[in-house]
Structure 1
Amino acid sequence: MALSGWLSVARQCARVGVLVGLPSAAAAGTAGWVPAPVFWWVVTVTAILVAAIAGAAWHKRQLARHVADSQTGKDKLSAILDSVEACIYIKSPDLHYQYVNRKTSELLGLPPRDIIGKTDRDFFDTNTVASLHLNDRRVIEGGEKVVAEEGRVLCAGGREHTFLSVKLPLRNPDGSIQSLCGISTDITEYREIRESNHRLTYFDPLTGLPNRRLLLDRLEMVVKGTRRSNRYAGLLFIDLDNFKVVNDTQGLHEGDQLLRRVADRLSQVVRESDTLARLGADEFVLLLHDLDSSMEQAAQAAERVAEKLLARVLDTLPVEERALTLPITGSVGIALFAGARASVDGAMQQADMALQQAKGAGGNTLRFFNPEMQAAVMARVHLEADLHQALARDELRLHYQIQVDSQSRVTGVEALLRWQHPQRGMVAPGQFIPLAERTRLILPIGHWVLESACRQLATWAKEPALEALSISVNVSSIQFHQQDFVARVRQVLASTAANPNRLILEVTESLLMEEPERVREIMLRLNELGIRFALDDFGTGFSSLNYLKRLPLDALKIDQSFIKGVLTDPVDAAIVQATITLAASLGLAVTAEGVETEEQHQWLQEHDCKAFQGYLFGRPLAVGDLRLGQRHGLMTS
């Protein structure tokens, strides 16, 4: 009965009275009336109890309904999150997973119960973890909202995925960060499509090289760069000779295979900073940037690259196929550009014109657009051809420059190579020695220099006035790193009967720093024969002082560029003085090169330098003309 019903009954009873059997009355066999106040107290208490019981039952029903509704809400939310085609997850401040949706579970290949409580370290490689946690910490520690592309994430099945992730902090009521919520959308397929479109737009589908569009974009950037820096860049057009014949006789498929091989070969000689592109058919283009501020040096650099390209093209076909097919060669046209007058169209036109000149010359060659530059290149080509014959034609000469002590007494000479060309006259060493090193002609030439110097030592040893003289011979890095260099030196000493104690080999700092332990071993073996060593042009390289003290050196030669400034440049003077002090501390002699004035000589003597070489004492001369100056009064023959 409802509470209102109970109250109605109570009111009726109050009007007429209620007969209640009391224990005393019952015992007496009589009945008594309960007073109204007592009755109302009983009714009130009863009503309260009934209301409490009814209220408890109602609250129980409401709580059950709320719990049911709450569970339904959670199930609905979970169903919604599981239906989303994105990874949704929550991580604790220490980056342990607290929640993952269905998509996350599928990508990791594990049910949620095997993911919750673990970290990314349990699922990904070290590099991936480092990348993911870098963004996570920005959220947890900095409170940032992070939107980032997270790539190379290796998921279940071993496939790499790329995600676009949004990560944000979940906060407590007091504002502190409770956890991280992340939503990561798999954009792997979109990225692959984007990259595929990029490849089709900017790269040649046959060879994988940049196409004309990308080449022109990069050429525009390089042209702008040369306008700012005034350093030359180069554009090389490469065309295959006889490619059409190969295509016609062996088919398009073989032609395509050949183009792929050529592209692969050419790519092997290209710097990462340069661009090798295919324009179409058998036309390739190489963009060289930042060659040199000097046009001549830039031309030489471009020429060297072009020669390598031609060699690579020639090597494209296997040897056994070359006898059966038309030889594959190439033609190269070169255009250099720099400064305000440079332009994309101009560079393209000039390189193409140079290419046509190369093809018109019969192919398998290179041509520069600039006629003057082409003339200079051809002059170097002829010089190289002549250098190949210089030894056989007996055109090389040794000149000697005297070295003196603090008393101006001759202690020895330095052997200096000269080339007496029948048409060009005396060719400067700076013109042909770098060429000899580049072509490795320095090996036979260097051997001839060493042999000639040792033969001169043996001759002087027969004259009492000259037997104490030493001869210093410059040794190139290429020579020194020959496997049998020590054996060659030993053979020269034996064949000439020269005294090894009078032979000094001059080496450079750069040579010492190439394979230093091997260099030290070679020097020690030669030192055991009695040969001495001098470090030439000291101060111009980057040798380690700690390493120098371990080498069997006898002397340091101070480069003439420092000697020239001792009277006018405090820095040069300080370097020379420091070198003299350093040599003394290492127990080495010091020779000052390039001494040209008496004032320089006097300054050096005042600073404890005891050996000198330079025009003040004598220019390099042929052995027949070698003599000491008037103050020395001695002539050699």
Structure 2
Amino acid sequence: MSDSPQNKTSRRTFIASAMTFFVVFLIGISLSFAWQSQHKAIHKAQAEAIGHTYASQLRSVLDHNLSGIYSLAALIHEFGGFTRWFPQVAQSLHRIYPEVNHFALSPNGVVEQVYPLEGNEQALGFNQLTDIEQGTDAWMTLQQQKLLLSGPVNLVQGGQGLVARYPVTLEDRDGGAEQFWGFSNVVIRLEALLKTAQLEKLTEQGYAYKLDRVDLDTPVTIASSPMAELSEPIKVDMRLPGVRWQLTLAPEEGWLPAHLFIVNGIICFALAVVVARFVFMALRIKEQKELLTVLLTEQTEVAHASDSRLTSTLQAIPDPLLEIRSDGLVLNARMPNYEFDLNAFFSIGESYKKHLPQSVVEVFEHVFKEAKQSQTFNHRGALFSLETSNESLHWFEMSVVFQPLKWEQGKQGHFVVLLRDVTVRQESDTQLRIAATAFETQDGILISDQHNRIIRVNKAFQTLSGYSEAEVIGKTPAILQSGRHDNSFYEAMFEQLNRKGAWEGEVWNRRKDGDIYPEWLSISTVLDYKGQISHYVATFKDISERKASERQIRQLHYYDSLTRLANKTLMLEEMSYFIHESSMCQRQGVVLFIDLDHFKDVNDVWGHNIGDQLLQQVAARLTEATHKQDLVARFGGDEFLILLEPIDISRNENRAIYRASHVAEKIEHEFDRPLSINDVEYQVSASIGVAVFGEQCSEPLDVIKQAELAMYEAKALGRSRHCFYQSDMQERVLERVQLENDLRQAIVNDELILYVQPQWDSNKRMVGAEALLRWRHPERGMVSPATFIPIAEETRLILPIGEWVLRTACQWLSEWHHDADMSGFILSVNVSAVQFSQEDFVAQVQAILEEYDAPAEALQLELTESMLAHDQQDIITKMSTLKALGVLISLDDFGTGYSSLSYLHRLPIDQLKIDQSFVANIEQGSKNESLAESIISLGHNLGMEVIAEGVETEEQFEWLEKRSCDLFQGFGLAKPMLMSELLERYKHDMHSLK
């Protein structure tokens, strides 16, 4: 029995529905997979953005806390390695960078200074270059000469941290390459850094993370969440100074929920069933279509009329209109004259979910659900956003009406969706929220109207000014004025505001309690639609701490910490200003270079503490001797500079020279008065060099060098005086330097020779001799002692030379000890003040006498009278000890030096030596006659032997012999000779007497 036509139609309808089911199911599965991939990509993009945010925050915290290391390095470099400023500066920096555990300075790689010291004591003495863990990084920092970050490392004081080092180099004073000084260091504890970076909040957001250092052969984990295994993690690289870190993160529960695949499969299956059902129903309906053709024809005219009215209504609506079936299929999409192409998201005949982001789909689903459940079948006010192809964001407000099919009692139907573009409104709301948040910042904010009456202030304003909002509303900002600025200041401010629309600068204002403080003020104008000023907006911050820090840094940078005078840096800047920025036409400047004479001896004898106090008193006297417009500076050690105010020489060319001479003489008079410390007086003198400069000068250091050369000339002329710079001084200084170098070589090359000059009694019998130092230069020949002895004393070369003379004399005495002819022969040796001031001088003499087994009673030490101007008690003690050894003491150049006789009777002196200046012309009845006679009488009354030097004529000898002078020495009796010649003459005279 064959099938009827109706059965054949049902079979074809069933087959078509089944095929539709499989096709829709496969398409749904494919779309589901594509949607899941897109959703996963979105989650990864969000995770990557979060990772970059935390990485940026971590990098920012590190960069901020490492910036202080450059300030330390700059100050070390500026002060030439001087670091006494470190605790104060580090304390200021620690307040700015609280995450820093401590700052440290490590000259030559060894940590010597740490701030704060509490808790970090074990870091002191830590050698960064030799440490097993940190040595490699420290050497790499030194080689690369840039900031490098080490860590995490185990800190010597406990715990783990990051160590940042910056190599510091100093200029070579000889002009060579810069020399490595050490490191400036910043140490950040790892736990403090991670706490500030707030990586643990990733866990609160559902992410597992791990922070590694990946520039090493084996990556080192710095921090991680409890969940160590990360599935398909996002990796964010961070490049820090010398290292590379990597932050990896992934959701703890995976990128997609596990059940999502099952749910999507069920949805696809259900959707395929629904579509197949629709196909089945459509085919069944087609069978009955013919039956309805007549009815449809009759209703066509009615439908056309309705469509015409509906079309007119829709054309009057400017917003996009959608018709979406309850199963999500877009039935109609009308976009009248809309510049934002929504057709890309809503395609007729496709599900609205296909092209919309998941977040928007969720909004649609929620609205559709609410519209179905609502009694009025409508819903309004839902918001969602879509991003255009040019990455601009648009916001839409939805109005939805659900139209159910009457024959299905509201369970089926379609949604009419009206979309309104509210982007402008949403952006306005956002800007208002941002503005409200920004208004409550740490900076004070004041808003006034066009009449400058205050209409609003924030909480920071109330905190900084002390005024409440109620106290200032309706008033003008003049209530904050401190009185330090005149009307012209505010007039200029408002003139710039009206012209440019903004003003900023430093202003002094007054708080409610009367406290005056500095603030940084920024004012902007707000214009209305007519372009007229409607409001003023002022923001300000208290900069009191910054101003205090600036003053402290300036004090450290420009002033000497001991004397409170200007330092070398400020002096050079002031001179540069005069030379390069000020017009020196018809004006001259003057620089005085002041060096204290023999100040090193002061430190050696009385100690550096007394020396520092003397320098402070010297600074005070130099300030008293100058005008307020003059600049007094400590150049270094015991050297000072004075820059006189530039002088107009248009009427008199010598005005600058006169002023310089007057100031120099005034300074010399200041030093005539002794300095007093703890009721003890100290006599200090100074040598002054003067250099005059004008518009032809180009460099400050050249002028200072000229003044220094003039100072050396003043020292060469006898010290305690001033001298003006002359062009030939450079040559003399070079000559002196060359002579000093040659003298050093003379000691090594045995170029020094001892001559001896006989000493005679009244019977012209040789009873002794004075050892005289001579220098036979290989090129210059014999160099005068008057030339090289002062150089030897200034350079302290007199110490090894004096020891050599003493040793040679004792060696001769030892050889004569067993010679009967030499019995009673006395050998005199000159001792300089520098040599005698040594603490171990007496022990040195004793050791040499014992070494050569020389008779102490045959050795006579000649001391200059000027030596008595120093510590008399120390001199008496040393002389007494020498006398106890048996050594004889002679006071040389008597009458030319220290004139006080109050100590002369206390000194254990055996012999007074009349200076040759008193012996000259003595036979002609000059004033020298009375002086010489008085010295002879004084010496005999004190029980001392008297010897006269410089006896040149027979008349002088006879005059002195008649006044009972004991011994005689001079060219008139015998010139200096070699020891071999003296011994030959001495023994010849002895045999003649026998």
TM norm structure 2: 0.31
Give the structure, 1 or 2, with the largest relative contact order (CA under 8 Å, sep 6 or more).
Answer: 1
Task: Please tell me whether Structure 1 or Structure 2 has the larger radius of gyration of its CA atoms.
Answer: 2
